Amino acid sequence: MNFKQVTAALALIIGCALAVAQSTNQIQLKIEPSNRTLTVVAEERVTADPELAILHIGYETQPMDAKAAYAAGAKISNDIVTALKQAGIPESSIRSERQNLQSIGGKTHKFKLEQEWTVKTTPVRAAEILDIAVGAGATDSGEIDWTVQDVQALENQALNKAATRARADAEVLAKSMGLHLGALIYVTNQTAAPQFNSSQGYATANYAGPADASFQSNASQPLAIVPRKVSRTASVYAVFAIE
């Protein structure tokens, strides 16, 4: 192997080492006889029944001139919010997300008004509240966010389980190798919410009927909505001394 080949090989090895270091985003330990450490990675997940349902509901008017679209939208808007309040949803649980008056297909004389809210309620009332909103003029609904009152507490539970698992795994490994587990040298953690496919866990509705307050849902009963469990995952990376 000539000098150029040796240089290329070293560059490849260094590049691979850097890539591994960047991808793990963890402390890099130099492996040598004097480095007596044991490293473990543990991951745990906790789940809980949802305590809150956050509905995304909205509407859009039919194409018309700007003033008419705004007037029609204003009526639908107030009808929906009034219906929600009459159903027992406090004003503090209704939050505007967006409102947009825009031209249709480049036609300068045709506009539609769109508006969207998030509405907090209990999981058992999610389907009922969505049905009430549709009956009051809502023509669009999106994902339902299922959550708990104290998300931090759920994350702490997952982290505690992961930390306990990391130490237990380290003790088992040390014992299996005839070693004694020493002091903790380094630890880091990460928590995360699960990622779901766009087709999972939410209800959508898009109605092509007249977008005005006279529109009523023809459904004999609300949608069958099943609340999704709330979960959090925590991972712990720990380095222990071994004796």
**Domain spans in the chain, listed from the N-terminal domain onward:** 25-49+149-194+224-243, 52-147
pLDDT band at residue 89 under the 50/70/90 scheme: very high
Please tell me which residue, 63 or 22, carries the higher pLDDT value. 63
Which tens digits make up the pLDDT trace of 193-214? 776 543 334 444 444 344 443 4
Q: Please report which confidence band the pLDDT of residue 8 belongs to, taking 50, 70 and 90 as the band edges.
A: very low
Calculate what percentage of the chain has a pLDDT beyond 90: 62
Which carries the bigger pLDDT value, residue 211 or residue 223?
A: 223
Region 215-222 average pLDDT:
57
Based on the number of CB atoms within 10 Å of its own CB, is 137 exposed (0-12), middle (13-18) or buried (19 or more)? buried
Which pTM value belongs to this model? 0.71
Rounded mean pLDDT, 132-142: 90
- Predicted pLDDT of residue 104: 82
Beta-carbon contacts of 229 under 8 Å, excluding residues fewer than 6 positions away, are 47, 48, 49, 50, 146
| Residue 200 or residue 140, greater confidence | 140
- CATH class of the domain defined by 52-147: alpha beta
Q: Return the structure tokens found at 18.
A: 């850097």
Residue 16 has pLDDT above 90, yes or no: no
- pLDDT band at 27, cuts 50/70/90? low
CATH topology of domain 25-49+149-194+224-243: Translation Initiation Factor IF3 (3.30.110)
Q: How far apart are CA 44 and CA 191, in angstroms?
A: 10
